[in-house]
Every structure is written in structure tokens, then in C-alpha cells.
Chain A
């Protein structure tokens, strides 16, 4: 009972990634799209940690750290872009943001 196969963790990781992809495809609100991307990154992080445990090295933990840094940078820049888009178009619906230049 104290040992479980690694595939359980990988299935949870795949499920989170699939939820992220689904949210990215079906959602209209651009902030929710960003949150779906974060969900996908979290799913990948879980499989990094599971494989690190399986292989017995700490390299996976370092990779997760770097993924988190990149996610933070991406969130900062992406939310700044969302704010500036909202200022010019007054909408958060991605279907209405279909022109690069007004």
C-alpha cells in the first residue's frame, strides 16, 4: 500500500494537460486562456517530478524550477499585453480581437 506505480502520477499529469488544452480551445475569455496555459505547465511539472523520483536524480526538480520562472515571466508580459489590449478595444473576448492594428 505504500508503493504505487509511477503511471498513476503520469495519468494525473496527462489529465491536467488535457484539461488545459480543452480550456484553451473552448474558452472565450483571454484571461481564462492564460490560466489554461498555466494548467498545462503544471501538468508537465508533475511528470518532471514523477520521473525525477523514478530515476533518482534531482535534475527534474531544477527543470521544474526553470519552468516556474518562465511561467512567471510569461504571466507578467501576457497580463501586460491583456491590459493594453483592453485599453484599446474594451473587450476580453478573443473572438473580437481579430485585428493586429486598429
Chain B
């Protein structure tokens, strides 16, 4: 069951990532990125990371992708121009693809008895446990993050403002 669910969502994930690469219109790439993020949230659920899965949906698939799609609509981004593929890509890309595939298959087929298997929900990470850790062990990092976000907001406002000069 775990393997089936992992393969299903992993296939969605990989398909969305490949579709992002081959689509020429920007909005299609953005929508396939949403598919990748949604299926990644389900994979996080398989690993027991409830809080991270929900945050992934809210922040990534919600906030960030809405921002991207607004910018795509605002700037009227249509099809991108393409050039002819370079020779360097053909010389290095195809052997590189084969090498990557062979390494991947080798990792999959290698038998390692000491490798620990993981099952569904082996580590349970609900919001209260993550929140306790966030506000005790990682409190300083969390507070510094608020300053980072504040600076990012101010920077975005200053950069996107229309200058009057």
C-alpha cells in the first residue's frame, strides 16, 4: 500500500516536473508546478509530516503560486522564444542522461540489508509538536525569520513602486 501510494504520487510529481520543462507557455508551467506541489504535500502526508503538508498547500500551492500567476497575467507572459539546441547540449546531455539513469537504477537495485525501511506515519509530526520545538529550540531562528520577512515586504514594495521621476 505504501509502495503503491508512493509510486502514484511520485509519478504525478515527476510528470509535473517534466511537464514544467516541456511546456512553452508560462501559465502551463505554473499549473504543472502546482501539480508537483500538491502531490509533494501528499507524499509528506505519507511520511507523517502533517504540519509540513498543510503548510505546503497553504504557502506554496496557495500564496506563492497565486503570486506567480498574478505576475504572469500582469505581464502578459505568452510563449517563450526558443533557439536551436546547442551542440554542447547534445554532446554532454545524452551521455549525462544515460549516466544519471544508470546511477538511479543501480541505487534502486542495490541490496542493502542495513538500510532502514520506513513505513507510513513512522514519525508523527503534528502541528503542536512542531510548534513546541519551533518556540523552544529554534526560537532565535524563528524571530530572525520575522525580520527577514519584514525586509522582504519592504523590498518588494520599494522595487515594484512606479518611480515618479
Name A's B-contacting residues (CB within 8 A): 1-9, 11-12, 14-16, 18-20, 22-23, 26-29, 31-32, 34-36, 38-39, 42, 45-46, 49-50, 52-54, 56-59, 61-62, 64-66, 68-77, 79-84, 86-87, 92-93
- B141 interfacial contact with A, CB 8 Å: yes
Q: A25 — nearest CB in chain B belongs to which residue?
A: B89
Which range holds the interface residue count of chain B? 35 or more
The answer to whether B130 and A9 have CB atoms under 8 Å apart is no
In the complex, which residues of chain A have a beta carbon less than 8 angstroms from the beta carbon of B51? 61, 65
In the complex, which residues of chain B have a beta carbon less than 8 angstroms from the beta carbon of A52? 47, 49, 123, 125
Given contacts A1-B2, A65-B52, A65-B55, contact A82 B133 (CB under 8 A): no
Question: What are the interface flags for B112-149 relative to A under an 8 Å C-beta threshold, 1 for contact and 0 otherwise?
Answer: 10011111101101000110011001100100010011
Majority DSSP secondary structure for residues of A touching B? helix
The answer to whether A11 and B107 have CB atoms under 8 Å apart is yes
The answer to whether A58 and B125 have CB atoms under 8 Å apart is yes
The answer to whether B138 and A31 have CB atoms under 8 Å apart is no
Given contacts A32-B80, A62-B134, contact A7 B155 (CB under 8 A): no
- B94 interfacial contact with A, CB 8 Å: no
Give the docked Cα–Cα distance between A3 and B157 (Å): 48
Residue in B10, B104, B145 whose beta carbon sits within 8 Å of that of A66 in the complex: B145
- Inter-chain pairs besides A3-B119, A72-B152, A74-B152, 15 sampled, C-beta below 8 Å: A15-B104, A18-B100, A19-B21, A23-B21, A31-B72, A39-B20, A42-B37, A49-B44, A58-B123, A62-B138, A76-B153, A79-B68, A79-B156, A80-B160, A83-B75
Name B's A-contacting residues (CB within 8 A): 1-3, 6, 10, 13-14, 17-18, 20-21, 26, 29-30, 33, 36-37, 40, 43-44, 47-49, 51-52, 55-56, 59-60, 63-64, 67-68, 71-72, 74-75, 77, 80-83, 89, 100, 104, 107-108, 112, 115-120, 122-123, 125, 129-130, 133-134, 137-138, 141, 145, 148-149, 151-153, 155-157, 159-160, 162
